[in-house]
Amino acid sequence: MSDRVIPLVDQRLSGLVARVPERAIPATGLLGDTLGRPLRDLRISVTDRCNFRCSYCMPKSIFDKDYQYLPHSDLLSFEEITRIARQFVAHGVQKIRLTGGEPLLRKHLEILIEQLSALRTTEDKPLDITLTTNGSLLRKKAAALKAAGLQRVTVSLDGLDDAVFRAMNDVDFPVADVLDGIAAAQDAGLGPIKVNMVVKRGTNEDQILPMARHFKGSGVTLRFIEYMDVGATNGWRMDEVLPSAEVVQRIHAELPLVQLDPSAPGETAERWGYADGTGEIGVISSVTQAFCSDCNRARLSTEGKLYLCLFASQGHDLRALVRGQANDEQLASAIGQIWQGRDDRYSEFRASLPPDASTGGRRVEMSYIGG
């Protein structure tokens, strides 16, 4: 039996203290970090649990039956999440994405969505509220999510071949049930729907064209994501990365594509439309084409740590302020101070290294902080 790799430090138990600055930082909606990047997008993880065991995210060798998840008392309550989110919105956040783990495993999630839907941006507009899911529970929950105020969903699906998909999720879950969940989300009006496919060379690259053919003309935008070195448990290697440029070439050879303009500032996906006008695909190239320069996303873990980068090693503990004596102005000032000090650009740093160089250090797990 081979030795398994276990993270040396549990990121859930370590964190940086979030301090209230002596001078208040007003929430004007114009907050910028050290590189001038605004705060526009907040990803909120609502659970560290998932019912899949995808090898690139929650490998079964680590997340087995003995793995200790966070106790419920450690998780932020819906009211605490909403209070924190309100301060982020005051600083300029316009979009909130709920994630996990698998967010639909969090009981009564519709209540949180209702609370977040009541928030308004600094321009007094509704927030863009979305959710990323593996789709396994969408048939059951889609209508209730829509009624609560959820606008869109992004579904993770790494192949159409049932054997390939069952092997990748490692719990023998059938692809037909995910496709049925996507149909349920469409019927409920949760759209436009996006489907994310993580491409791992030697594992599911043969699913690129079948996925493109299947979703072309369906109204669903398919996005291909380069296999990333998130966390320390997935055994990431550069030779398992299939560059997005090659993905585009493969599709273009059979289904001609034309490049489209970005849909919004800080958009992570490069957009390509089918030449016949029957939809589009996207590619997310955080390994081969870093997009740190205009990254406007913050991430809140399920127990209240603020992470400034998907590849960060530590988060700032906001829960201590929320459960302590900090008022809303102090909480907003603490968030403002943290963002103003942000200088993260991990993907640009990685891109500057030789192909065989180690990036070193520990990084937060994808299953804990969400995508």
Beta-bridged to residue 242, according to DSSP, are none
User: What is the distance between the alpha carbons of residues 35 and 265, in angstroms, rounded to a whole number?
Assistant: 15
pLDDT in tens, 85-97: 999 999 999 999 9
- Secondary structure of residue 60 in the 3-state scheme: coil
From residue 167, how far is each of 51, 162, 228 by CA, in Å? 14, 8, 19
Residue 239 has pLDDT above 80, yes or no: no
Confidence of residue 59 (pLDDT cuts 50, 70, 90): confident
Q: What is the pLDDT of residue 346?
A: 62
Give the rounded percent of residues in the chain with a pLDDT score beyond 90. Answer: 70
Task: Transcribe 292-306 into DSSP letters.
Answer: GGG--EEEE-TTSEE
Backbone angles phi, psi at 92, to 5 degrees: 125, -5
254-263: long-range contacts (C-beta < 8 A, 24 or more apart)?
A: 254/209, 254/212, 255/212, 255/213, 255/216, 257/281
Give the chain's mean pLDDT.
88
User: What is the distance between the alpha carbons of residues 126 and 114, in angstroms, rounded to a whole number?
Assistant: 12
From residue 109, how far is each of 145, 147, 154, 268, 298 by CA, in Å? 8, 12, 16, 26, 21
Task: Transcribe 129-158 into DSSP letters.
Answer: EEEEE-STTHHHHHHHHHHHT--EEEEE--
Structural domains in the chain, CATH included, are 16-192+295-369 (3.20.20.70)
Nearest to 324 by CA among 65, 17, 116: 17
Show the tokens assigned to 321.
Answer: 């302020």
User: What is the distance between the alpha carbons of residues 176 and 169, in angstroms, rounded to a whole number?
Assistant: 13
Give the amino acid at 240.
E
Give the amino acid at 256.
P
Show the tokens assigned to 278.
Answer: 């029957």
Q: What is the pTM of this model?
A: 0.89
- Quickly count: other Cβ atoms within 10 Å of residue 309's Cβ: 20
Q: Residues near 364 by Cβ (< 8 Å), separated by ≥ 6?
A: 11, 230, 231, 307, 310, 311, 312, 313, 314, 315
- Residue 93 half-sphere exposure toward CB, CA atoms < 13 A: 27
Residue 258 has pLDDT above 60, yes or no: yes
User: What is the distance between the alpha carbons of residues 301 and 67, in angstroms, rounded to a whole number?
Assistant: 18
pLDDT in tens, 128-168: 999 999 999 999 999 999 999 999 999 999 999 999 899 88
Q: What is the pLDDT of residue 9?
A: 42
- Secondary structure of residue 282 in the 3-state scheme: strand
From residue 82, how far is each of 25, 120, 216, 311 by CA, in Å? 20, 12, 37, 25
